[in-house]
Structure 1
Amino acid sequence: MAAHQPPPVALRRALFVSVAHSTLLQSTLSQSPSAVAVAVAVRRQQPESRAPPTGHGDRQSHPGSRRHHQLPALQDAALAQAGGPGRRRRRAASLQAARRRRAPLPSSSRRSFACRAIYRPQVKVKEEGKPETLDYRVFLVEDSGKKISPWHDIPLQLGDGVFNFVVEIPKESSAKMEVATDEPFTPIKQDTKKGNLRYYPYNIHWNYGLLPQTWEDPSFANSEVEGAFGDNDPVDVVEIGESRRQIGEILKVKPLAALAMIDEGELDWKIIAVSLDDPKASLVNDIDDVEKHFPGTLTAIRDWFRDYKIPDGKPANKFGLGNKPADKAYALKVISETNESWTKLVKRSIPPGELSLV
């Protein structure tokens, strides 16, 4: 009588996979619809790539380091065979994603200090006090009610040459609103002089505000702009789109040009930009496009900022770089350098003085 022969290796492996597949199928079918939905939701929230988010829709921060737990061999085999349609595939994928979520990020993928904040589309504007009074403040708050800083907590870059811009002064208004850099959470308030609220002598014709996570270092003399020192503020933005925006509104913009204004000896950069949702945004990508599609705008901006102090008996402001606007490449250079200065400030490599870092 022939001796009993064990099944071939291929057959044993097929039987093993079949058992594992059947086990997973039974487990999947036993899940309630709500449990399956949760598994699918987990899968959808965990992208395949763990690179730092760069776009508007990237809302989740990334952990610095978490323990990695490997799937047991049997579960791995079952998942490998669960590629069919329906709930099996979704549940298998969600289990794999849940395990991947615990894997540590490579050091090259971790976010830099200067870009640690995440984009918060759920941020709301909260007003305290009455407009056009000394007590009036505009705060940015999360859904939880927690206050955040429009200067420090909103990220500068969104990727692909797109930047965040926080509106301080809506177009066609004259109240001189600005981020209170010396107050906790740096709310937006109306500027004062000798205890009186400040107004421009006439309306500003563009949306005006700041680039978050930038800072014009007052200890740095810019050799390209007559050795002028920074004005100790975030970099200003003049947004040339057609819509009138609201105080505290956060826009996605692309820079187009830069003006090197010198205000009482201090360098006060003006970045010319356009909001991505403006009808002409796709037509303008550099300084020449501005002249073509917004004719006369660059000259009008320069003249407005040159002359607005004259009615108060002060001299006209000056401009460096030959009294002309610089192109987009130069504007991006200014943004990069002032972001580096901000990074040093919040790391306290440079003494903050009276500036609030909260």
Structure 2
Amino acid sequence: MYRNEKFNRWRRHPWHGLHTQMDGAEEGVVQVYVEMLPTDVVKYELDKASGFLMVDRPQRTTSSPPALYGFIPRTYCAEEVAKRCPGVEEADGDPLDICVYSERHINRSDIVLNARVVGGIQMIDDGEADDKIIAVLDGDNIWGDVQDISDLPQIKIERLQHYFSTYKLVPGKELNIKVDHVYGREEAMQVIAAAEKDYWNHFQDLHEQAKE
């Protein structure tokens, strides 16, 4: 039985009802809720209140994510995440984003998968920390053995940097986004730990109320 919990006939909230890791998962393998696919030109995002996937906005340009794009459950980017980003006082106040590479095309979102963390990109968006963890699909036949970001082709990282530096682009409006710092697996795990700490600092009461 999943974490010794009774079967829940209601759908679990993807952010609060799932766990960061499945029971028995190897170190560095996390659960991911997928919001967007590489084919999407509409920005989909989880509605935090209801737990349903919603349309955030149609992309103004033809920009689409070069990997599966979602978040790690029970993480939150707040004070602890911001501390890891020099010169930044705040984080974006969302679950920790993650991009997952898969050799086989996954053709639907609103799903959960296991991914092996290999690194990340320290993104600063208008003065807020907004890290993007980079991972590979656990057990993938091509990328499954990748352990660190240095094992990925450099072009994979460059495409992610380009996407996140341009996906909010509006003609005539200057963007204030930095994606210069790319880090490996060890630092990525520290960012995840900080985001988990932020989550429990902000949402522990929610889980205590659910037990009552």
Q: Could you say whether these structures have the same fold, taking a TM-score greater than 0.5 normalized by the shorter chain as the test? A: yes
Greater strand share, 1 or 2?
2
1:240 maps to which residue? Answer: 101
What's the offset of the Cα at 1:282? 3.1
CA distance in 1, matches of 2:36, 2:60: 11
Query: 2:92 matched to 1:231?
Result: yes
Give matches, 1:187-266, under 5 Å.
Answer: 187-191=52-56, 197-199=57-59, 201-202=61-62, 203-217=64-78, 221-222=82-83, 224-242=85-103, 243-266=105-128
CA distance in 1, matches of 2:2, 2:200: 22
TM-score, normalized by length of structure 1? 0.52
Query: 2:194 matched to 1:329?
Result: no
Greater helix share, 1 or 2?
1
TM-score, normalized by length of structure 2? 0.84
Q: After superposing the two structures, state which structure 1 stretch, 272-281 or 165-174, moved more.
A: 272-281
Cα-to-partner distance string for 1:116-166 (whole Å, 9 max, x where unaligned):
x79x9xxxxxxxxxxxxxxxxxxxxx6x3x132000111101331211001
2:31 maps to which residue? Answer: 164
User: 1:297 pairs with 156, 179, 195, which one?
Assistant: 156
User: 1:340 pairs with 189, 197, 201, which one?
Assistant: 197
Give the % identical residues. Answer: 23
Q: Is the 8 A contact 1:207 1:245 kept in 2?
A: no
**Stretches of 4+ aligned residues off by more than 6 angstroms:** none
Give the secondary-structure state (helix, strand or coil) at the position aligned to 1:272: strand
Q: Is the 8 A contact 1:305 1:317 kept in 2?
A: no
What runs of 5+ residues in structure 1 fail to find an aligned partner? 1-58, 63-116, 121-141, 192-196, 350-358
Which residue identity is paired with 1:189? M
Give the secondary-structure state (helix, strand or coil) at the position aligned to 1:178: strand
CA distance in 2, matches of 1:180, 1:149: 10
Give the secondary-structure state (helix, strand or coil) at the position aligned to 2:17: coil
Query: 2:144 matched to 1:285?
Result: no
Which residue identity is paired with 1:216? C
Task: Evaluate the alpha carbon distance shift between residue 314 and residue 239 of structure 1 in structure 2; reply closer, same or farther with a 3 A threshold.
Answer: farther
Which residue identity is paired with 1:303? H
Query: 2:13 matched to 1:149?
Result: yes
Task: Evaluate the alpha carbon distance shift between residue 271 and residue 317 of structure 1 in structure 2; reply closer, same or farther with a 3 A threshold.
Answer: farther
What's the offset of the Cα at 1:200? 5.1
Query: 2:183 matched to 1:318?
Result: no
- Provide the alpha-carbon RMSD of the alignment: 2.4
What's the offset of the Cα at 1:317? 4.3
CA distance in 2, matches of 1:313, 1:206: 28
Task: Evaluate the alpha carbon distance shift between residue 310 and residue 326 of structure 1 in structure 2; reply closer, same or farther with a 3 A threshold.
Answer: same
CA distance in 2, matches of 1:220, 1:337: 5
Give matches, 1:70-81, under 5 Å.
Answer: none
Which residue identity is paired with 1:300? R
User: 1:180 pairs with 31, 38, 47, which one?
Assistant: 47
Q: Which has the larger radius of gyration?
A: 1
What's the offset of the Cα at 1:249? 1.0
